[in-house]
Protein backbone atom coordinates (compact mmCIF):
# COMPACT_ATOMS: atom_id res chain seq x y z
CA UNK A 1 0.00 0.00 0.00
CA UNK A 2 1.35 3.41 -0.91
CA UNK A 3 2.02 6.05 1.74
CA UNK A 4 -0.85 8.34 2.67
CA UNK A 5 1.78 11.05 2.96
CA UNK A 6 2.62 10.98 -0.76
CA UNK A 7 1.09 14.40 -1.28
CA UNK A 8 3.11 15.78 1.60
CA UNK A 9 6.21 14.26 0.02
CA UNK A 10 5.50 15.98 -3.26
CA UNK A 11 5.03 19.28 -1.44
CA UNK A 12 8.26 18.70 0.50
CA UNK A 13 10.10 17.82 -2.69
CA UNK A 14 8.85 20.99 -4.35
CA UNK A 15 9.91 23.08 -1.37
CA UNK A 16 13.32 21.37 -1.36
CA UNK A 17 13.76 21.88 -5.08
CA UNK A 18 12.94 25.56 -4.70
CA UNK A 19 15.23 25.91 -1.70
CA UNK A 20 18.09 24.18 -3.46
CA UNK A 21 17.76 26.16 -6.65
CA UNK A 22 17.66 29.33 -4.61
CA UNK A 23 20.91 28.17 -3.01
CA UNK A 24 22.43 27.67 -6.42
CA UNK A 25 22.27 23.88 -6.81
CA UNK A 26 19.73 21.92 -8.82
CA UNK A 27 20.28 18.70 -6.90
CA UNK A 28 17.26 18.13 -4.68
CA UNK A 29 17.95 14.42 -4.08
CA UNK A 30 18.59 13.88 -0.38
CA UNK A 31 21.89 12.31 0.58
CA UNK A 32 21.72 9.06 2.49
CA UNK A 33 23.83 6.45 4.19
CA UNK A 34 23.64 2.67 4.45
CA UNK A 35 22.59 0.65 7.54
CA UNK A 36 19.47 2.74 8.11
CA UNK A 37 17.08 -0.18 8.68
CA UNK A 38 15.55 -0.60 12.15
CA UNK A 39 12.97 -3.16 13.22
CA UNK A 40 10.25 -3.77 15.80
CA UNK A 41 8.31 -6.89 16.68
CA UNK A 42 5.07 -5.62 18.21
CA UNK A 43 3.59 -8.32 20.51
CA UNK A 44 0.20 -9.35 19.10
CA UNK A 45 -3.02 -8.53 20.94
CA UNK A 46 -4.73 -11.49 19.28
CA UNK A 47 -3.49 -14.77 20.86
CA UNK A 48 -4.00 -16.47 17.48
CA UNK A 49 -0.98 -14.54 16.21
CA UNK A 50 1.34 -15.40 19.10
CA UNK A 51 2.98 -18.31 17.26
CA UNK A 52 3.75 -16.15 14.21
CA UNK A 53 5.30 -13.53 16.50
CA UNK A 54 7.33 -16.17 18.36
CA UNK A 55 8.44 -17.89 15.20
CA UNK A 56 9.55 -14.68 13.49
CA UNK A 57 11.34 -13.45 16.59
CA UNK A 58 13.12 -16.73 17.27
CA UNK A 59 14.03 -17.03 13.60
CA UNK A 60 15.31 -13.41 13.62
CA UNK A 61 13.27 -12.72 10.48
CA UNK A 62 13.39 -8.92 10.77
CA UNK A 63 17.08 -8.94 11.69
CA UNK A 64 17.75 -10.83 8.46
CA UNK A 65 15.66 -8.40 6.44
CA UNK A 66 17.52 -5.56 8.13
CA UNK A 67 20.82 -7.04 6.99
CA UNK A 68 19.48 -7.72 3.52
CA UNK A 69 18.27 -4.12 3.07
CA UNK A 70 21.29 -2.50 4.75
CA UNK A 71 22.91 -1.52 1.38
CA UNK A 72 20.13 1.04 0.76
CA UNK A 73 21.52 4.52 1.32
CA UNK A 74 18.59 6.31 2.96
CA UNK A 75 18.43 9.87 4.33
CA UNK A 76 16.84 8.71 7.57
CA UNK A 77 15.97 5.41 9.31
CA UNK A 78 13.33 3.04 7.95
CA UNK A 79 11.67 0.75 10.49
CA UNK A 80 10.35 -2.71 9.60
CA UNK A 81 7.45 -3.71 11.84
CA UNK A 82 5.23 -6.73 12.28
CA UNK A 83 2.08 -5.90 14.22
CA UNK A 84 -1.58 -6.74 14.69
CA UNK A 85 -3.98 -4.70 12.55
CA UNK A 86 -7.37 -5.32 14.22
CA UNK A 87 -8.31 -8.08 11.81
CA UNK A 88 -7.17 -6.39 8.61
CA UNK A 89 -4.82 -8.51 6.47
CA UNK A 90 -2.69 -5.75 4.97
CA UNK A 91 0.72 -4.08 4.84
CA UNK A 92 1.73 -0.49 4.24
CA UNK A 93 4.45 2.12 4.41
CA UNK A 94 3.83 5.40 6.18
CA UNK A 95 5.89 7.89 8.20
CA UNK A 96 9.17 5.98 7.73
CA UNK A 97 7.65 2.73 9.00
CA UNK A 98 6.77 -0.42 7.08
CA UNK A 99 4.04 -2.31 8.84
CA UNK A 100 3.19 -5.88 7.88
CA UNK A 101 0.12 -7.17 9.70
CA UNK A 102 0.07 -10.54 11.45
CA UNK A 103 -3.31 -10.99 9.77
CA UNK A 104 -1.63 -10.86 6.34
CA UNK A 105 1.12 -13.25 7.43
CA UNK A 106 -1.53 -15.63 8.82
CA UNK A 107 -3.33 -15.49 5.49
CA UNK A 108 -0.13 -16.38 3.64
CA UNK A 109 0.40 -19.36 5.93
CA UNK A 110 -3.21 -20.42 5.46
CA UNK A 111 -2.88 -20.18 1.66
CA UNK A 112 0.18 -22.43 1.54
CA UNK A 113 -0.38 -25.92 0.14
CA UNK A 114 0.08 -28.89 2.48
CA UNK A 115 2.85 -30.32 0.34
CA UNK A 116 5.34 -29.17 -2.26
CA UNK A 117 3.63 -28.51 -5.58
CA UNK A 118 4.30 -30.85 -8.51
CA UNK A 119 5.11 -27.83 -10.69
CA UNK A 120 8.32 -27.40 -8.70
CA UNK A 121 7.39 -24.88 -6.02
CA UNK A 122 8.06 -26.01 -2.46
CA UNK A 123 5.51 -25.38 0.27
CA UNK A 124 8.06 -23.27 2.16
CA UNK A 125 8.63 -21.06 -0.88
CA UNK A 126 4.89 -20.42 -1.28
CA UNK A 127 5.22 -18.69 2.11
CA UNK A 128 8.72 -17.21 1.91
CA UNK A 129 8.11 -15.78 -1.59
CA UNK A 130 5.00 -13.75 -0.70
CA UNK A 131 6.49 -12.64 2.65
CA UNK A 132 9.69 -11.39 1.01
CA UNK A 133 7.65 -9.87 -1.82
CA UNK A 134 5.48 -7.85 0.57
CA UNK A 135 8.46 -6.52 2.53
CA UNK A 136 10.28 -5.57 -0.68
CA UNK A 137 7.12 -4.02 -2.18
CA UNK A 138 6.71 -1.81 0.90
CA UNK A 139 10.44 -1.03 0.83
CA UNK A 140 9.86 0.14 -2.74
CA UNK A 141 7.26 2.65 -1.51
CA UNK A 142 9.67 3.76 1.23
CA UNK A 143 12.55 4.22 -1.21
CA UNK A 144 10.38 6.16 -3.69
CA UNK A 145 9.21 8.41 -0.87
CA UNK A 146 12.44 8.93 1.05
CA UNK A 147 14.57 9.44 -2.05
CA UNK A 148 11.94 11.35 -4.03
CA UNK A 149 12.15 8.96 -6.96
CA UNK A 150 9.97 10.07 -9.87
CA UNK A 151 7.48 7.42 -10.98
CA UNK A 152 5.79 7.04 -14.34
CA UNK A 153 2.69 4.91 -14.14
CA UNK A 154 1.08 3.61 -11.02
CA UNK A 155 3.11 3.54 -7.83
CA UNK A 156 1.69 0.13 -6.86
CA UNK A 157 2.97 -1.40 -10.09
CA UNK A 158 6.31 0.35 -9.61
CA UNK A 159 6.59 -1.11 -6.09
CA UNK A 160 5.84 -4.59 -7.51
CA UNK A 161 8.57 -4.12 -10.09
CA UNK A 162 11.03 -2.90 -7.46
CA UNK A 163 10.34 -6.08 -5.47
CA UNK A 164 10.71 -8.36 -8.50
CA UNK A 165 13.98 -6.72 -9.50
CA UNK A 166 15.46 -7.20 -6.02
CA UNK A 167 14.32 -10.83 -5.85
CA UNK A 168 16.14 -11.45 -9.12
CA UNK A 169 19.36 -10.22 -7.49
CA UNK A 170 19.34 -13.20 -5.10
CA UNK A 171 21.17 -15.63 -7.35
CA UNK A 172 19.56 -18.11 -9.69
CA UNK A 173 18.20 -20.78 -7.37
CA UNK A 174 16.85 -18.40 -4.74
CA UNK A 175 15.56 -15.93 -7.32
CA UNK A 176 13.57 -18.68 -9.00
CA UNK A 177 12.16 -19.93 -5.69
CA UNK A 178 11.09 -16.46 -4.53
CA UNK A 179 9.63 -15.35 -7.88
CA UNK A 180 7.57 -18.53 -8.23
CA UNK A 181 6.54 -18.30 -4.59
CA UNK A 182 5.42 -14.70 -5.05
CA UNK A 183 3.48 -15.60 -8.21
CA UNK A 184 1.79 -18.42 -6.29
CA UNK A 185 0.82 -15.92 -3.59
CA UNK A 186 -0.97 -13.74 -6.16
CA UNK A 187 -2.56 -16.61 -8.06
CA UNK A 188 -4.07 -18.16 -4.96
CA UNK A 189 -6.06 -14.93 -4.46
CA UNK A 190 -7.91 -15.57 -7.72
CA UNK A 191 -10.87 -17.90 -8.07
CA UNK A 192 -9.83 -21.17 -9.73
CA UNK A 193 -10.37 -21.72 -13.44
CA UNK A 194 -9.63 -19.94 -16.67
CA UNK A 195 -12.71 -17.74 -16.51
CA UNK A 196 -13.59 -15.57 -13.56
CA UNK A 197 -16.49 -13.28 -12.80
CA UNK A 198 -15.71 -10.24 -10.70
CA UNK A 199 -17.60 -7.05 -9.83
CA UNK A 200 -16.50 -4.37 -12.29
CA UNK A 201 -15.30 -2.03 -9.54
CA UNK A 202 -12.37 -4.34 -8.68
CA UNK A 203 -10.76 -2.89 -11.82
CA UNK A 204 -10.62 0.48 -10.08
CA UNK A 205 -8.19 -0.77 -7.44
CA UNK A 206 -4.91 1.14 -7.20
CA UNK A 207 -3.14 -2.24 -7.34
CA UNK A 208 -3.22 -4.40 -10.43
CA UNK A 209 -5.45 -7.44 -9.99
CA UNK A 210 -3.77 -10.48 -8.41
CA UNK A 211 -3.65 -12.37 -11.73
CA UNK A 212 -2.00 -9.38 -13.39
CA UNK A 213 0.52 -9.10 -10.56
CA UNK A 214 1.36 -12.79 -11.02
CA UNK A 215 1.80 -12.38 -14.78
CA UNK A 216 3.84 -9.23 -14.24
CA UNK A 217 6.32 -10.80 -11.83
CA UNK A 218 6.69 -13.86 -14.08
CA UNK A 219 7.22 -11.61 -17.11
CA UNK A 220 9.97 -9.62 -15.39
CA UNK A 221 11.61 -12.88 -14.35
CA UNK A 222 11.33 -14.43 -17.81
CA UNK A 223 12.65 -11.20 -19.32
CA UNK A 224 15.63 -11.37 -16.97
CA UNK A 225 16.48 -15.01 -17.66
CA UNK A 226 14.53 -16.95 -20.25
CA UNK A 227 16.49 -20.12 -19.55
CA UNK A 228 15.94 -20.14 -15.81
CA UNK A 229 12.23 -19.42 -16.26
CA UNK A 230 11.70 -21.29 -19.55
CA UNK A 231 9.20 -23.71 -17.99
CA UNK A 232 7.01 -20.81 -16.87
CA UNK A 233 6.16 -20.26 -20.54
CA UNK A 234 6.33 -23.92 -21.58
CA UNK A 235 3.85 -24.87 -18.85
CA UNK A 236 1.55 -22.01 -19.78
CA UNK A 237 1.85 -20.00 -16.56
CA UNK A 238 2.87 -17.02 -18.67
CA UNK A 239 1.17 -16.80 -22.09
CA UNK A 240 3.59 -16.85 -25.04
CA UNK A 241 2.11 -13.66 -26.39
CA UNK A 242 3.10 -11.70 -23.28
CA UNK A 243 6.40 -13.52 -22.94
CA UNK A 244 7.63 -12.23 -26.31
CA UNK A 245 8.03 -8.68 -24.99
CA UNK A 246 9.22 -9.50 -21.46
CA UNK A 247 12.88 -8.86 -22.25
CA UNK A 248 11.90 -5.26 -23.13
CA UNK A 249 9.93 -4.93 -19.90
CA UNK A 250 12.94 -6.15 -17.94
CA UNK A 251 15.20 -3.79 -19.88
CA UNK A 252 12.99 -0.82 -18.98
CA UNK A 253 12.98 -1.88 -15.34
CA UNK A 254 16.75 -2.35 -15.29
CA UNK A 255 17.23 1.10 -16.82
CA UNK A 256 14.98 2.70 -14.19
CA UNK A 257 16.49 0.78 -11.29
CA UNK A 258 20.12 1.40 -12.25
CA UNK A 259 19.51 5.06 -13.09
CA UNK A 260 17.22 6.05 -10.25
CA UNK A 261 17.91 3.59 -7.43
CA UNK A 262 21.47 2.48 -8.23
CA UNK A 263 23.10 5.69 -6.95
CA UNK A 264 21.45 5.04 -3.58
CA UNK A 265 22.89 1.56 -3.11
CA UNK A 266 26.13 0.90 -1.22
CA UNK A 267 27.83 -1.28 -3.82
CA UNK A 268 30.18 -2.99 -1.38
CA UNK A 269 27.35 -4.04 0.94
CA UNK A 270 25.11 -4.94 -2.01
CA UNK A 271 27.72 -7.45 -3.15
CA UNK A 272 26.76 -9.55 -0.12
CA UNK A 273 23.01 -9.41 -0.87
CA UNK A 274 22.72 -12.96 -2.15
CA UNK A 275 25.09 -14.35 0.47
CA UNK A 276 23.07 -12.78 3.31
CA UNK A 277 19.84 -14.28 2.00
CA UNK A 278 21.33 -17.72 1.31
CA UNK A 279 22.87 -17.84 4.80
CA UNK A 280 19.67 -16.92 6.60
CA UNK A 281 16.87 -18.56 4.62
CA UNK A 282 17.58 -22.26 5.04
CA UNK A 283 16.53 -22.47 8.66
CA UNK A 284 13.22 -20.74 7.90
CA UNK A 285 12.70 -22.91 4.84
CA UNK A 286 13.16 -26.07 6.91
CA UNK A 287 10.70 -24.82 9.52
CA UNK A 288 8.06 -24.05 6.91
CA UNK A 289 8.53 -27.26 4.92
CA UNK A 290 5.54 -28.94 6.54
CA UNK A 291 2.18 -27.70 7.75
CA UNK A 292 1.89 -27.34 11.54
CA UNK A 293 -0.14 -30.52 12.14
CA UNK A 294 2.34 -32.76 10.34
CA UNK A 295 4.76 -34.95 12.32
CA UNK A 296 8.14 -33.27 12.28
CA UNK A 297 6.77 -29.74 12.18
CA UNK A 298 8.19 -27.53 14.91
CA UNK A 299 5.94 -26.63 17.86
CA UNK A 300 6.49 -22.94 17.15
CA UNK A 301 4.51 -23.23 13.94
CA UNK A 302 1.53 -24.98 15.52
CA UNK A 303 -0.86 -22.12 15.00
CA UNK A 304 0.47 -21.13 11.62
CA UNK A 305 -2.77 -21.77 9.76
CA UNK A 306 -4.86 -19.96 12.37
CA UNK A 307 -7.49 -17.55 11.23
CA UNK A 308 -6.87 -13.85 11.85
ZN1 LIG B 1 1.77 -0.91 -2.19
- Distance between CA atoms of residues 235 and 289, nearest Å: 24
Q: How far, in Å, is the centroid of ligand 1 from the Cα of 207? A: 7
Cα of 234 vs centre of ligand 1, distance in Å, is: 30
| CA 101 / ligand 1 centre spacing (Å) | 14
Side-chain half-sphere exposure of 124, counting CA atoms within 13 A: 14
Q: How far is the CA of 86 from the centre of ligand 1 (A)?
A: 19
Distance CA 278, CA 173 (A): 10
pLDDT band at 16; cut points 50, 70, 90? very low
Q: Is the pLDDT of residue 135 over 70?
A: yes
> Is residue 77 a contact partner of residue 38, using CB atoms and an 8 Å limit?
yes
Read off the pLDDT band of 276 (50, 70, 90): confident
Bridge partners (DSSP) of residue 72 are: 265
pLDDT digits (tens, 9 = 90+) for 175-210: 999 999 999 999 999 888 889 888 999 999 999 999
The predicted-structure confidence for 66-116, as pLDDT tens digits, reads as follows 999 999 999 999 999 999 999 999 999 999 999 999 999 999 999 999 999
For the CA atoms of 81, 1, 8, 95, the dihedral, rounded to the nearest 10 degrees, stands at 0
Q: What is the dihedral of CA 13, 14, 16, 21, to 10 degrees?
A: 140
Identify the band that residue 302 occupies on the pLDDT scale cut at 50, 70 and 90: very low
- How is the chain split into domains, by residue range? 32-193+206-265
pLDDT at 118: 84
Amino acid sequence: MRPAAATAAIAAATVMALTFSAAGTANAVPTGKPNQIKYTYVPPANPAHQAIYDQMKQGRALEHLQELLSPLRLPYPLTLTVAGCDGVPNAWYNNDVIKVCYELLAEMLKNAPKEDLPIGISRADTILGPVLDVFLHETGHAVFHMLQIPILGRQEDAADQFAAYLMLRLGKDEARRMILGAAYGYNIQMPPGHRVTVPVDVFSDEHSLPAQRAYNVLCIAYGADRKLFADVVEEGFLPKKRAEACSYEYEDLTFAMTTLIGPHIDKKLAGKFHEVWARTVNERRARLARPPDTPGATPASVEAGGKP
